[in-house]
Structure 1
Amino acid sequence: MSTPAAVRMTGISKSFGGVRALDAVDFEVLPGEVHALLGGNGAGKSTILKVLNGVHKPDAGTVEVGGRVLKAHTPEESRAAGIAMNYQEMSLIPTLTVAQNVFLTREARTGRGLIDDKEAERRTAQIFDLLEVRVDPRARVGDLGAGSRQLTEIAKAISKDAKVLILDEPSTALAVSDVERLFVFLRKLKAKGVAIVYVSHRMDEIARIADRATILRDGRHVITAPLSELPIDTMIEHIVGKRSKGLADVARGDVSRGEVLLELRNVTGRHKPDNLNLTVHRGEVVGLAGLLGSGRSATARVIAGIEPHVAGEIRIKGYPVPIRTPGEAIGAGVALVPEDRARQGVIGAHSVASNLTMGILDRLSRGGLEDRTRIREIADAQIKRLAIKTAGRDVAVSTLSGGNQQKVVIGKWLAADPDILVLDEPTAGIDIGSKSEIIRLVRDLAAQGKAIVFISSELSELLTACDRIVVMADGKAWADQPRAAFDDSLVPEEDTAHRLQAAERKLQAAIQEALIAGQEEPRV
């Protein structure tokens, strides 16, 4: 008798407000395999996973887990069947500790029936030890950076000892080293027979971790095949519907630098950065590279006035500017696209139009009344400009896919037309086709005279978008090199894909050198 599939979904259809998110989709996952679920923004990936996890009830179709048909389509039924899911938009409660979040609704109890936080902390520490990462189980989640919150979300899913583990964009906020540790752990789970559904827009990750892949496009099933039959360029073709090399197809024009728009002189934050010097010229994209905790995002928050700098000077257009609040930063012509869109980028219950224009409402109001016509015009222009997939400008942002929500965050600040744009992980959760669009947009904005600080954990993005790259570790800048310094003269210029891969290897080596230098630096 053959072993039943860990998951078999047949003819799944689901619509939201007249928009068909899934159209008769079949999806099967075997025990002991890592199955990649791929597709562009709005392809239906998150929807089919929420159907599997009982968050959404399908309009049609059947769901089987381990050979048993699920009928109630509730989270409780899915959980009882052995399904655990790590959501792309994190489900953590910021006021609770890491351990309290990991074991929320499944709290450890003392012999007297009281909640045993110490036991939860011990079990949580064991999970992080297995992952070989450092996160304090007693830390309050609201005080953590995006990477540590992502690891907490993963630990929460792993703690459920599931038969089917769903990871929706688990590496978005993780450093390269943490992704490698995650992969080692997933291979251990796979060896125990756990079925793993892995969703990611990072093609290189999929090629290394997945056994098979299913690709969706516009809510329909396109292909399911072993990874041996799906080279990266073929995967991209199925995802976007046309031949593409992804970021290797993005042409880089010559930079025309103007005057310095942003300068940090020996800037030190409350924790990070540490005595940082940084200049960004008009027409230039400067990338910040480094591992989790290197100080990239802390630098972005200091520039944007979210966190104070305790020493040093920030200069805008040659003049020192006191930036102590986000309002002062915006007034100085600085805008930040934050790494955490769910908490800092959008208001999910508000409409797409409201989110796209909330940064410039003061310009769209007269006598306390909003200019609704102008709001609609600006919203429609940004929806078109960024190809935001939405049923309309008036629907809630929460109904959009994660990638399209990210486009709304970017569009909100583009509408404000800032001189200096700080982009912290601007393509997080965005498909490969849309990533190329965003990188081209960044290059176009620089050509229009913007000064741009670009932060990304994906080295290929930094190398494609940036004119100069600053390598950070422990809050310090250890290298500041032009993009051309990472090219390999032995790789032909016309071979853009291999040329980008060679540059990635050089940048990765520079990041590791900075990390070692930071660890070896004598402390007073």
Structure 2
Amino acid sequence: MSTSSNAAAVEARGITKRFGPTVALNDAGLTIKQGETHALIGRNGAGKSTLVSILTGLQRPDAGEVRFAGEAAPPLADRDAWKARVACVYQKSTIIPALTVAENLFINRQTEGKVINWRAMRARAAALLDQYHVDVDPSGLAGDLGVEQRQLVEIARALSFGARFIILDEPTAQLDGPAIGRLFDRMRDLREQGVTMMFISHHLEEVYEVCQSVTVFRDARHIVTSTVADLPHDALVAAMTGEHAVTYEAKARTIDAKAKVVLEVRGLNSAGRYHDIDLTVKAGEIVGLAGSGSSGKVGLAESIVGLRRADSGVITINGKRPKPGDVPSALAAGVGFVPQDRHHEGFVPLLSVGENATMPIAGKLGRFGMISPERRRARARTMIQELDIKTEGPDQPVGDLSGGNAQKVVMARALVDDPAALVVINPTAGVDVKAKQSLLGSVEDAAQRGAGAVLVSDELDDLRICDRVLVMFHGRVIKDVPRGWSDNDLVAAMEGVSHE
């Protein structure tokens, strides 16, 4: 069949997909023009991930069809044909850390003969990286790359198959401001080279910055497709939620000057990460940590909960000094923790909601080393209700949940033992508007019950619930900003423009 030069780069028509009784997509679809960057937006569970699996040939729709440049999609079994048409850079990296960059770029394509010519493969990798302006050593281990570099390597690998349509699934969720800017510059360069992209993000301001068109899914259905310029922010949120935009309002809170100190850090140092950190958090207080990706804020938070060991200094949690660099010791001292990467550190996907949520209190759910399944389910049901986790019940595997609900399970685990101190890192990354409200509300509820909290976030809206925000720059705390700050003042401090 001949194709027209005016044919859309990608069309998904009348797509329906069911998983048992669940309708994941209901007569949904979208059309993406050649050479445009098209946003796919929707709350967790709207059907975005299912559509991605169908557009990449990993799932077959129950009804409907997919076309690339006017031609029907290839059979599912023809993986090479799919790779030549479409590639997806997932939020969860598919780079293999133990292999070199060159090996990742040409995995299963190292050679056409029986013997691998390593020098030739590295040369091919260097040429490919140079072609797409990716400044990475092809001989280096992929595991040593940062998030930004891994994403660029995955994009280069996709393009090396000949694909001219790339799906970017939450690519900014783990990047700081400067890295996001560089990614967007690269996306604009690729667009000028004729590459078509589908961009999935929960950060709506990014849609307006880098996309030309947008499609909104809600409840497994297509709601609207529009040029970005013709869809105001409030209308976009209304299409996502079926409601008008609601800004999260932080709860009024007064910190008792005589409140107990539940978390104290004195003289904490870690070479290359942070220097001379002093921090005090009282019961009922929420303290934010803000700064760029290189500011040291994540490393500091991870040291408090024992994921990293500081070189010097003292950490005191609820009057106890946990063993440095020891997570069980920090948990025993009374800390609850939401890690930066829920996929690798937050939950065990094959275990149930109940098993994940009650992991820190497993020893309290039975006698003589035996866990009572009914007591675990009962506690899990309470957490499911309190955090409004959308699940079939305590026995459903967490890996089956949407991203926002999986993050709520991680939050439930952090709160299940009523911690004296709560440390949360980027709790709303990659979740939708309503899930953000629920997650931030649960942090405020914990403070209301008397916990002290440290909230690390790249999102200014997250930090608005904080009583004060400590701004870090190049490993040092440079400013203590009370509630009521303006975006301009806080961003300027984070970028080192106005620090004193």
Moved more, 349-358 or 38-47: 349-358
Q: Which has the larger helix fraction?
A: 1
Asked if 2 retains the 8 angstrom alpha-carbon contact of 1:92 and 1:101, the reply is yes
Equivalent residue number for residue 16 of structure 2: 13
Q: Using the alignment, how far apart are the partners of 2:185 and 2:193 within structure 1?
A: 13
SS at match of 1:416: coil
Q: What is the CA distance between 1:197 and its match in structure 2? A: 0.2
Equivalent residue number for residue 481 of structure 2: 481
Asked if 1 retains the 8 angstrom alpha-carbon contact of 2:12 and 2:66, the reply is yes
1:93 aligned onto 2:96:
yes
Q: 1:124 to 1:362 in 2, by over 3 A?
A: farther
Q: How does 1:202-351 map to 2 (within 5 A)?
A: 202-245=203-246, 248-257=247-256, 258-318=259-319, 320-351=321-352
Q: Using the alignment, how far apart are the partners of 1:504 and 1:100 within structure 2?
A: 43
Counterpart selection for 1:72 from 64, 71, 75: 75
Aligned residues: 494
1:457 aligned onto 2:440:
no
Q: Using the alignment, how far apart are the partners of 2:342 and 2:171 within structure 1?
A: 15
Equivalent residue number for residue 118 of structure 1: 122
Asked if 2 retains the 8 angstrom alpha-carbon contact of 1:51 and 1:73, the reply is no
Q: 1:108 to 1:410 in 2, by over 3 A?
A: farther
Q: What is the CA distance between 1:460 and its match in structure 2? A: 2.5
Q: Using the alignment, how far apart are the partners of 1:460 and 1:286 within structure 2?
A: 14
Q: Using the alignment, how far apart are the partners of 1:280 and 1:167 within structure 2?
A: 38
Deviations 1:440-485 (A, max 9, x none): 22222212211111111122222x221111111222212222122x
> What TM-score results when the alignment is normalised by the length of structure 1?
0.87
Asked if 1 retains the 8 angstrom alpha-carbon contact of 2:44 and 2:402, the reply is yes
Q: Using the alignment, how far apart are the partners of 1:167 and 1:75 within structure 2?
A: 22
Q: 1:35 to 1:507 in 2, by over 3 A?
A: same
Equivalent residue number for residue 3 of structure 1: 6
Equivalent residue number for residue 439 of structure 1: 440
Asked if 2 retains the 8 angstrom alpha-carbon contact of 1:127 and 1:159, the reply is no
SS at match of 1:84: strand
Q: What is the CA distance between 1:165 and its match in structure 2? A: 0.8
Q: What's the C-alpha RMSD, in Å, of the aligned pairs? A: 2.6
Equivalent residue number for residue 169 of structure 1: 170
Q: How does 1:356-395 map to 2 (within 5 A)?
A: 356-395=357-396
SS at match of 2:18: strand
Q: Using the alignment, how far apart are the partners of 2:197 and 2:406 within structure 1?
A: 26
Q: 1:150 to 1:185 in 2, by over 3 A?
A: closer
Q: Using the alignment, how far apart are the partners of 2:117 and 2:186 within structure 1?
A: 32
Equivalent residue number for residue 198 of structure 2: 197
Q: What is the CA distance between 1:28 and its match in structure 2? A: 1.0
Q: What is the CA distance between 1:119 and its match in structure 2? A: 2.9
Q: What is the CA distance between 1:427 and its match in structure 2? A: 0.9
Q: 1:234 to 1:34 in 2, by over 3 A?
A: same
Asked if 2 retains the 8 angstrom alpha-carbon contact of 1:285 and 1:468, the reply is yes
Q: 1:515 to 1:276 in 2, by over 3 A?
A: farther
SS at match of 1:206: helix
Moved more, 27-36 or 408-417: 408-417
Q: What is the CA distance between 1:320 and its match in structure 2? A: 4.1
> What TM-score results when the alignment is normalised by the length of structure 2?
0.91
Q: What is the CA distance between 1:125 and its match in structure 2? A: 5.2
Q: 1:345 to 1:139 in 2, by over 3 A?
A: farther
Asked if 2 retains the 8 angstrom alpha-carbon contact of 1:107 and 1:120, the reply is no
Q: Using the alignment, how far apart are the partners of 1:127 and 1:470 within structure 2?
A: 41
Asked if 2 retains the 8 angstrom alpha-carbon contact of 1:20 and 1:219, the reply is yes
Q: Using the alignment, how far apart are the partners of 2:88 and 2:476 within structure 1?
A: 36
Equivalent residue number for residue 45 of structure 1: 48
Q: Using the alignment, how far apart are the partners of 1:419 and 1:135 within structure 2?
A: 44
SS at match of 1:236: helix
Q: Using the alignment, how far apart are the partners of 2:370 and 2:319 within structure 1?
A: 37
Q: Which amino acid aligns with 1:187?
A: R
Deviations 1:193-244 (A, max 9, x none): 2211000000110111111111111111111111122111111111111112
Q: Which amino acid aligns with 2:249?
A: V
1:511 aligned onto 2:494:
yes
Asked if 1 retains the 8 angstrom alpha-carbon contact of 2:284 and 2:448, the reply is yes
SS at match of 2:443: helix
Q: Using the alignment, how far apart are the partners of 2:337 and 2:151 within structure 1?
A: 21
Asked if 2 retains the 8 angstrom alpha-carbon contact of 1:53 and 1:75, the reply is no
Asked if 1 retains the 8 angstrom alpha-carbon contact of 2:8 and 2:33, the reply is yes
Equivalent residue number for residue 418 of structure 2: 417
Q: 1:268 to 1:365 in 2, by over 3 A?
A: same
Deviations 1:333-376 (A, max 9, x none): 11221111111111112222221122221111322322111111
Asked if 2 retains the 8 angstrom alpha-carbon contact of 1:57 and 1:74, the reply is no
SS at match of 2:363: helix
Q: Using the alignment, how far apart are the partners of 1:109 and 1:276 within structure 2?
A: 55
Asked if 1 retains the 8 angstrom alpha-carbon contact of 2:39 and 2:211, the reply is yes
Q: Which amino acid aligns with 2:405?
A: N
Q: What is the CA distance between 1:139 and its match in structure 2? A: 4.9
SS at match of 2:495: helix
Q: 1:128 to 1:281 in 2, by over 3 A?
A: farther
Asked if 1 retains the 8 angstrom alpha-carbon contact of 2:274 and 2:300, the reply is yes
Deviations 1:268-289 (A, max 9, x none): 1254222211221211111111
Equivalent residue number for residue 30 of structure 1: 33
Q: Using the alignment, how far apart are the partners of 1:155 and 1:461 within structure 2?
A: 33
